[in-house]
Structure 1
Amino acid sequence: MTLVLRTGDDRHAEHVMDVVRSGVHESASDVVTQSWSRCLNEYRLHPDKAREPAVISRAALEERRERQADVIDCARYEMTTLYQQLADADSAVVLTDIDGVIVHMVSSTEFAAEMGPLGLRPGGMWSETEAGTNGMGTCLAAAAPISVRREDHFFTHFTQLTCSAVPVFDPSGHIAAVLDVSSRSSMMQQHLLVLLGMTARMIENRLIDRRFRNAHPLHFHSRPEFVYTLHEGKLAVGDDGRILAANRSALFQLGLQSVDEIRSRHIEDLFQTSLEDMLRRSTQSSFHPIVTFRANAALRFFAVARRPATESDLPSPTPSSAVATLPTTTVPRLAPRTPLPRPATQVPTFKDARLAAHFETARRVIARQTPVLLCGETGAGKEVFARAVHDASPHAGGAFVAINCASLPETLIESELFGYRAGAFTGAQRTGRRGKILQADGGTLFLDEIADMPLDLQARLLRVLDERQVTPLGTEETHAVDFQLISASHQRLPELVREGRFREDLYYRLSGIELLLPALRERSDRRELIRGVLEAEGGRGSTLSAEAERMLMDYAWPGNIRQLRHVLRTAAALADGDTIASVHLPSLQDSAAVAPTMHAAVSTAPLALTSHVATMPAVPPAGPATHAAADHPPPPFKLNPIQANERQVLLQMLEQHRWNVSNVAKVLDVSRNTLYRKLHKLHIEISHPE
C-alpha cells in the first residue's frame, strides 16, 4: 500500500536538500534541521528514495521483547489508557527499545492494517539510520521530547504522518525506551507531548517499583498535596538506608542532575532524619505525609516511607502479543464490561428552590467529569440526590454503585472498594468478588460518609482517581475504569483536613464542586415532602389531621428525612387506616420534651474525641447509671487523661441507654461502626445485647 501524497509533496525532497544546504528552515526546529543534515550527510539517505521498511524477524522481536519485558509490562496499561484519552481511531501509541525497534503498539485494527506496510508495526525499525527523521528515531538521537509534523519527516512518503515522542528513563537515569504517538492528524501536537510526558513518568515510577520490589519506597514533595501524585519525588531505599534509585522529579527537587549523584548515598545525606524514623512516623500518621527537612538546608519536604511493597502492587504479567488492536468505535478497555439491563427511572422533582438549583449545578458539572461532594446533615437525602444526578447524567445507562464508608468494618472497606481474588482471604471470603469501583465502571460511584475512610485507604483511593485503574486485592490484574464520582459527608471535611484526619489532596480531588444540601426543617417544600413520604409509607389512603400535620411541620427533624420516614411508617401502622392524629405521633411528643435538655447537654459541655468522633456531649450525673459505670473494670492499658475522660463519658452514656450502641450512636450523630471503633480503642467491651 502507498499513501496518496498531497499537492506539493513531489517538491519535498528538493526542499529538504535546500534547507540542509542553507541551514535555515522556518517551519522546522533546529532539532529537525540537524536530523535532516545527519540523514543526508552521515547516513547517505535521499528523501525520495525510501528504503524498503526494515522489519526484524519474529524470533529477533521476541528476543528483544524478552530483554524489555519489565519495561513493556510497566508501559502496557499506561499506553492503553493514553490511547483511550486520545480517542483518535487514526492514531497509534508506540513503544520502541533503545534501537528504535517497535516492541509494543496500541491502535485500532484498521489503522494497524493501513500502517503495517510502512513499517509501523511490531518489529519495525524506526531509527534515523533506517527511517530518517521521525518521532521515535529522532527522539532517541536527541535524547529529548520532540514532535515531527508531516513535512518535518525526512522521507517523502511519511509526510502524511505526525509523530510525537518522549524518552522513558530507567531507574539508573538511562533511556530505556521511547513512547510515541503517530497519527494522520494535521493538528498541532503540543498537548500530546504533555500527555506523553505524564505517561512516561507513570511508566518510570512503575519501573522503579518492579525493579526494586524489595526496597522501601519513599515518596516526597515540597507540597503535601503532591505526594502520591505524578509530581512526587520517588526513591527506592535499601534496608541499610542507602538510596538505590530515584525518579526525575526526585532529582529535580533535590537539585541534582543525575542518579549517579544520589545512588548509594544514605537517607541522612539528603534529609534530616533516618529511614527508621521516617517509617515509624509514617506509620503513626497512617501514611499521611510527615514533615522533614533537607540535610544542611532549610528546605522543607513532606514525605511518606513504606515497607517493601507486596507483589499484588506490581503490574500484571505480559501477554504474548506485541500489539494491542482496539476497535475504532468503542472506548478501549482492559476488561470489557457488559451493561446489565436497567429499569427506567424517573428523576425526582425538587421543589425546594435551593435544592433544585443544586441539582441543576450537579447535573451540569458531572457531565464534564467533575466530581461532586455533597454535604449536609445525616438523613438529609444525600444518596437520593446523588442517584437523581446519576439518572440525569451521560452515565445513566451504567450502574449506580453506593458504598457507605461508615457502615463497613475497617478491615472490609478495602476489599469492598477494590475487590479481591478467590483465596486472597480466609474463611467465608474465599469466593472472590469484584469491588465497588469495578462495578461502577461506566456508571457512578457514590461514596457516602467519605470522612470515615481510614487514612491509608484514602491514599490508595486517591491513586485510583488519578490513574483511573484498580488492582483487586490478591491479584496482579490491573483494570482501567471510567466512572462518575459523587461523595458525601455530614462532617466538615476542611476541618478534618486541618486536624490531620483527612487527606488534603484527596479533599481537593473529591470537591470539584461542593454542594450543601438543606436539612428537612429548612426546605420550602416540606409540606409536599411530608405528604409524599406518607403516601409511600402508608399508602394512597393515608391522611393527616390538621393537628398532626402542624406537629410534623413545626418539628425540627434532627434525623431529617430518614427520621420522617420512620415516624410516618409507625404512625400509619398505629392509625391502621384511620386519619393520623397527634396521638399516633408519640415519638414527636417525647422528643419535644427531651430535646431542650439534650441540646443543652451537647452545647454546654462538648468533649473532643480523636479518631472519627468529632464531638461528644458530657453526660450529667445520674445516680444509678453513674455508679454502674464507675464499677466497670478499668482498662488493661494506661490511658492519657483525655482518653480516660472519654471512656468515662461513654460508659455513662452506655449505662443510660441500657448498653444499646445504636441509640448512643444516634445521640452522638455518628455511625455504629465509628462508635464500635472508639469503644475498642478505649477498651470498652460490649457485653450487653442490644
Structure 2
Amino acid sequence: MSPLAPDPRLGSARRSFFERGAAPVGAVPEAILHSWQRCQRHGLLVDAQPAAEPLTDNRLRELRQRRERLWRQARPELDGLAAEMTHSGSIVLLTDEDGWILDAEGSAGFLDKAGRVALMPGMRWDEGTVGTNAIGTALVDGRALQVRGGEHYFAPHGILTCSAVPILDPYGQCLGVLDVSGDARLPHVHALALVRQAVAQIEHRGFADGLADCELLRLHHQPALLGSAREGVLGFRGGRLVAANRAGLALFGLDRQDIGRTPYEALFEQPLSRLADDGVLLDRQGRRLYGVREARASRRSVATPGPTAPLPASAQGPLFDTGQQQQLATAGRVLQAGLPVLLQGETGTGKEVFARELHARSTRAGKPFVAVNCAALPEGLIEAELFGYEEGAFTGARRQGSPGLLRQAEGGTLFLDEIGDMPLALQPRLLRVLQERELSPLGGGKPVKLDFALVCASHCELPQAVDAGRFRADLYYRIADHVVTLAPLRQNPDRAAVVDALWQQLGQGHALSSQARAALAAHAWPGNLRQLSACLRTLAALAEPGQPVGPQLLPADVRAGTPTAPAVPASGALEEIAEAAMRQALAECQGNVSAAAKRLGINRSTLYRRLGTPRG
C-alpha cells in the first residue's frame, strides 16, 4: 500500500482549536470536534503525556474472567480478523464496556509499535483518560467511529488510525468494543466495514441460545438471509419488544432506546401465529417479511462457534462430502458407546465444526457443547480454567470461585482443541480426571462426578509428540480410542462446491462472479476452511450493493492464481519442519518470543514448550 500524504486541513484544524481556541467546524468530523471539546472540559492538556497505568497481571486475569462470556462470543471474530490484520499490518482489539483492553491480536510488528503508546491488554482507552480515540469515543457516542492520525486528542496517538464499533447485548446494552488499529500513514478504507461485519456476527451469536421467557422472531425481506447475521432478530415478552439486534431495529426504523417500550402491535398487523401458515408476516406498512418463530429459550450450548463455525452445525451440512459423512457416522457410533474420539488435521480443516456436528447428531444434543482451546487459555490459568477453583484458591480468584470448563460440559460434550499444546506438567491431572470422571477444584472442596462425551483435536501428529516426549503416552491412549483424520482443503477434488456452500452462508446475498469463483476454487488455501471463510467474509464486506463480486476484490495471491500447494511431507518430517520454522521465526525476531509467536500464528506457550525457550 502506498503511504498517504499528510492532510494539511487536519494540521490547520488542530492549530485552530488547540492554539487559537476556535472551533474548526467542517475541517474535522463533527464527532471528533465534539470529542476534543469534551476532553478540554475534562481538563486534559493536549501537550501533556497521556496518563497510562497498566493493570497488574492478576488484575488483568480477574478482569478477563469477569468478561469471559464476551471474550468467548467474540473469539471467532478476533481470530478471523487477526488473520486478515496480520497481512495488512494492523491489529484487532477487544475491550470491555469501560474501555479496558482484554485482548490484542494481529500484526506482530504493529503490536510492538502500538505498545509504545500503551495500546495493549491491561490498558484503559476511555476518552476521559486518553482523550479522543476510536474505542473511548465510540463508547461515549454509542456508535461506530474511525479516528485517523491527528484526529486523536494527544499527539503521540497520531501514529494510529483506529476503527471501532460498540458490541451490544440483545437488550441494547453495551458489552464492549471491537477495534482495528493500524499505521496512520497507510489507508484503512475497508477497516470500519470489516469491524461492523464482525460485530454483527458477535451480536447475532448473543441470540444463539435464546432468551429466558422470551419469544424470538427472526425476519428478513429475503428468505435466503434467514439464519445469517443480516437477519433481524426481535425478542418479545408479554407482547412487548424487550430485545433486538441492529438489523431487527433497522427493519422498523427503531433504535435501541425503543427496546422495552415498543408493543408488538405497533410493528405488525398480523399475529405471530400467522407465521405458521406460510412463514410470512405483514408489518404495519404492508411489507412482506419472511420469518421464523422461536418459542421460549432452551439452552443449546455453553460455548460459542469457533472461527471455522460461524453458523450452527445444522447450517454446515453442505460442507460434509460423502467421505466425511461416513466419518461422522462411524465416529458418532464410537461416541455414543461412551468412548473418546480424536480428530487430527491441519489448522483450519474444520475440526471444531466436525466435533459440533458429532454433538448435534448425538443423544446429548440438548446439553452443552463446551469447546476449550488448550493453546489459547492463559498459561498460568489453564488448571484453574479447566478444573475450577474454590474461593480464595489463588490471588485474583473470583470471590465465589469458579466451576471450571469441565463441569460446564456436564451431560453434554467436551471438546478439547489443540490438546497437543497442553503443558506436560498438567497432563497427568487431566488423565486422572478422564480415568476417574471425577475432579477436585483447586483450593479443596468435595470431589465432583463428571458426565460428558469427549472429543479431542490436534493439528500436530500426537504419536510423534509422544515419541518426542512432549505428550504422555498414557494420555494419548486414553483419548485416541477412535482417530479421525480430516483432509486439508487442497485435497478436496471439488473445491468449487465448498466455495459455493460457504458463500451461501457468508455472502450476505451478494452474487459471486464466475471468474472470482474459479479463482477461489483453484487456490491452494494453506489455511484451509478457516482461511477461505475469512476471505469470503472480507469479500462480502467489500461487495457493492447489486454488483457481483468480481476478481478485482480478491486478495492478490488468489487473483494471481497461486499454484496448488506441494505434497505434504511425512508426519515425522512435518514435526522437524515445524520446529525449524519456529527457530527461524525466533531468530528473525531477535529472540522476541511474543513477536515470533504472532508471526507464526501460534500461542507463546507453544513456542516455550516446543523449543524449551527460557522465559524472560
Q: Give the alignment's TM-score, normalised by structure 2.
A: 0.50
Higher relative contact order (CA 8 A, sep 6+): 2
Instruction: Tell which structure's C-alpha radius of gyration is larger.
Output: 1
What TM-score, normalized to structure 1?
0.45
